[in-house]
Amino acid sequence: MHTLRGYLVGTLLLAMVAATVSSHASGQVVRSLPNDSNIASNLSVVRYKTDAQGVTFSLSRGVMRVQVCEGDIIRVEYAPAASLPIKHSLSVNRIWGKPRFHVHGSAASITIQTSSLKVSVSRNTGSITFADLKNHVILAEAGENSKSVTPDEVSGVNTNRIENLYQSPASEALYGLGQHQDDILDLKGANEHILNANTEINIPVLVSNRGYGLFWDNASPSDFYGDVDNDTEFRYVSQCGNMVDYYFFYGPSLGKVVSLYRVATGAAPMFPKWAYGLFQSKDKYNSQAELEAVKNGYRNNHIPLDCIVQDWDYWSPFAWGSHIMNPARYPNPKALLTDFHNAHIHGMISIWPVYEDVANPTNPGEDHNFNEINRLGAFYPSTGTHHFYDSFNAKARAVVYRQIYDDLLGKYGWDGIWADNTEPQPYPDAFNMRTVNTSLGKGVLNINAYPLEHSRALYDGWRTVGPHGKRVYILTRSAFAGQQRYATTCWSGDIQCNFATLQRQIPAGLNFASAGMPYWTTDIGGYWGHTKNWKTSANNELFTRWFEYGTFCPIFRIHGGGTRELYSDSWSDTTKATLLKFDNLRYRLMPYIYSLAWKVTSQGYTIMRPLVFDYQNDPNVYNIKDQFLFGPAFMINPVTTANAVTRSVYFPAGKWFDFWTGASITGGTSHVVATPLNEIPIYVKAGSVVPMGPFIQYANESANPLEIRVYSGASGSFKLYEDEGNTYNYEKGKYSVIPFTWNDNARQLTIGSRTGSFNGMLASRTFHIVVVGAHNGTGVRLGQPNYTVHYTGAKVVISLNSR
């Protein structure tokens, strides 16, 4: 039963206000505050009212509400009006309950206490301080100027400028806000413009090493200023809105902060298992014959691959948005997809949110899709014949997906959607997204949410219309908060092909992940390689180093201009051997990666993350932007300069194993390590249990037997997750989990009882247990087992006493 404490109705003397006065949730509680000469701010508290979900404050200028969403999630709203405007969030989809909290006060503040937090509102300034239950300040708004709503005109719209100001101690480090190409990881002292563009993806979520996160629920063009008052404050400013509206999340671990963001905005569903394998893409394959040749090139050369991608322009010379695959170049797309599927390869196709108005159609039905959407009045005007549809229009979203299904996915059997140009960038014809009329008002009001709503069209359409029996997979160039719930991966856009660009992708991806978005990738090698001679040794080196890094991105994908298939003559024999080694490594790690994917879905986990996520109290890691963690076991250290033979690696506290040799290093210091071209430094944390599969050609190939690598020196555990791989039966509980627990002191590995089942599950398994040491259980090759277990689902305890 929900219990609520607040003030008794009435006016008390100021001396009495310092005491806590209680009430119960039998009704709302209103408290009027005394007149006092010290209460002078234009946001001073006049009275407040409690209800089952929070406290509403009447201020000397406007109204503020502090909503207790959960014990560790707080929403703050403020407007200079008699009441708060009604708002429907595009990002937050959680329906909040009635968590327990109580309210008490002092002469200086009113405090809302939850199971995890004390949220104090200054009587004098209306500013908010968030503290833990031991009164340690986590975050504080910066006094009476911390919140403002100022009338303004933007792109012809009468609106308001929304500002939030927060204190930031010198020891604070800040992360997130999406993907930016400025080579910055720690945003303390940095400024970021929050407006989606090609290569710039903006998620207004900020996390701090102090254990909190903020989400500003505003999709208009915005700016983050991390350098206010000599870096002692940070400010978030949105061009449009009618109120301050932000969410506060308290971990205190950063992983928990991100998981709370997903509690508010939606869990990321499981991708089909094939999506964790290698994608081969190019700008662009021009015929069915080319695509068949790529399939044969990989399979005939025994190179692991899961997806081949058809990029844009397959419709030419027919209209954009017609979804016609030119029959002169693609005579039988359905047979193509059948050939793919018979070879255990999946197909993804590029689909833009752009439609062309053709005056004289040359193919029957060429203008059907345009006309159907045009009848809804759901196109934005442009300077030419190409028009983006209004993704904020629910009817248009439904029509757009049905056309995609009827013309491509349902008709031919394509397995994934590449949603290109979703910022949207004004191409092929110019238009001004700020001034167009959308179903939610002028475009500028929600400009950053265009990709969110387009992803919604694709995901909701797929789950409703079909193809049924296949999980949704969407690759998109842009995003906004909440988009993870629509089964999307983002890539970093149309980037250059050089080492400096490779280097910038690492912090870009880490801040994207820190902003709560779990799936991200790059064009391995860079995009603008159309005229590049990939055969040179310098470009072989660039591609090799990028491929080594890409192996440990959540999604593993080759794309761009030029010939880059792993079997092609662009690569020397030495380069091919290295590329195959890392491709095989990705596939051997498939049991590990797929289990982490389940953790993303079920626990709000982050696979690829900066070191600060796991070493939050180590100032040495706060601005390390060229190392990252891949799951709980691996620390990845890419090489981002040409001709490098060494690089410096910082090792956080603990014992670490060299993945390639099995040698161990004690953490807490930096070391210069070798970087031969056929390797990057990879280290595994002591206590890790890493399941590795056999050498396979595609993700769904048999994962039996498994090699279970144990990295001694600390205790640890891992849960192996398995399911059918491409259906949504996991949502009905059709999956299995096998727990592995390593007790380092006892030198004992416990394989727990398997829970759950699914169609096609292996009833019995073989586990080769390998305790990693010098030159055993190292690198990509199979390790020599210390023990072999024939597992049938019952608990097994293995003692491994030899050291």
453 given a catalytic annotation: no
Give strand pairing partners of 246.
Answer: 76, 216
Q: How far are the Cα atoms of 343, 690, 696, 697, 699 from residue 304, in angstroms, in the given order?
A: 11, 21, 7, 4, 9
Q: Which of the residues 200, 366, 367, 420 is marked catalytic?
A: 420
CB 742 within 8 A of CB 749: yes
- 210: exposed, middle or buried (Cβ count in 10 Å: 0-12, 13-18, 19+): buried
Residue 234 token pair: 């940070």
Alpha carbon distance 432, 453 (integer Å): 18
| Nearest one of 723, 797, 734 to 767, comparing CA atoms | 797
DSSP reduced 3-state for 411: helix
Residue 522 token pair: 């790059």
DSSP 23: -
- Largest interatomic CA distance in the chain: 87
Alpha carbon distance 592, 720 (integer Å): 7
H helical segments located in 52-132: none
Q: In degrees rounded to 5, what are phi and psi of residue 230?
A: 55, 45
Residue 12 token pair: 């008390």
229 given a catalytic annotation: no
Q: Which of the residues 192, 306, 366, 494 is marked catalytic?
A: 494
Whether the link from the prior residue into 426 is cis, omega within 30° of 0, is no
H helical segments located in 301-367: 333-342
Q: Which of the residues 306, 423, 548, 679 is marked catalytic?
A: 423
CB atoms within 10 A of CB 42: 14
CB 285 within 8 A of CB 295: no
DSSP 88: -
Give strand pairing partners of 756.
Answer: 736
Residue 93 token pair: 């989809």
Beta strand ranges found along 353-430 (DSSP E): 354-356, 386-388, 416-419
Long-range contacts, 366-370 (Cβ 8 Å, 24+): 366/318, 366/319, 366/322, 366/324, 367/319, 367/322, 368/322, 369/321, 369/322, 369/323, 369/403, 369/407, 370/319, 370/321, 370/322
494 given a catalytic annotation: yes
Who contacts 26 (Cβ-Cβ below 8 Å, separation ≥6)? none
| Residue positions annotated with a catalytic role | 420, 423, 494
